[in-house]
Amino acid sequence: MVRLFGYQEVLSLDARGRFRLPDELSGLLFSELGRASRSAGASAAPAAYERLAFYFVPGTRRRIFLYPTPNIDLAVRSFEQPPAGMPPEVVRQARDYFYNHMRFVDADKQNRLLIPEALRRHAEIGEQVQQIALVAQNYWLTLSRSELVEKEMAENLGAFEQVAADLLDPVCRPTRGFVPPEPESDR
């Protein structure tokens, strides 16, 4: 399993909708996935053994998730064994959307990956979008329009400021625990 949580970089798209994986990230991924793909057995696509390859799938909040070949089973299993209480018809429709948009993409010789057209539409990455953000999570990579990532990071900063003193600061840790901020009144 890939453990690259927190890696983030803004990448340029070329006219065909391709982006180049940064060398540093490629090296880390290749060393991890090279070992994982070879041990995955016959279920892995042949291209996964030769160069970096991912399953591009639709993600939440207009993002695209890139699952490494050995980890696609995590996503598939979630649809095949949904949590109890989820409406079966909704799960079936979501699963159909997921499978219809899922694509296997391997990097070319220059380590570029082409974003499939259907997934570009899903993530609202049109011709005017020339940069995307690539974020590494624990088991996949996430592509998103840069402005969406900036907005999410600003929201995350607000949440971080609310709880960081209670969670991280060993010197100034409050003794009474977390107290939510007072809502600002409209004047």
Query: In the chain, where are the structural domains located?
Result: 8-146
Report d(CA 100, CA 72) in Å as an integer: 15
Between the alpha carbon of residue 121 and those of residues 91, 112, 132, 149, the distances in Å are: 22, 19, 14, 17
The hierarchical CATH code for the domain 8-146 is 3.40.1550.20
The three-state secondary structure class of 114 is strand
Q: What is the DSSP letter of 141?
A: E
Q: Does 181 have pLDDT greater than 80?
A: no
Specify whether the CB–CB gap between 87 and 146 falls below 8 A.
Answer: no
Q: Does 17 have pLDDT greater than 90?
A: yes
Give the tens place of pLDDT for each residue, 56-82: 999 988 999 999 888 898 888 888 888
Percent of the chain residues past pLDDT 70, beyond the cut:
72
- Written as one letter, the residue type at 182 is E
Percent of the chain residues past pLDDT 90, beyond the cut:
30
The three-state secondary structure class of 92 is helix
- Please state which of the ranges 30-34, 103-107, 145-149 shows the lowest mean pLDDT: 30-34
pLDDT given for residue 116 in this prediction: 96
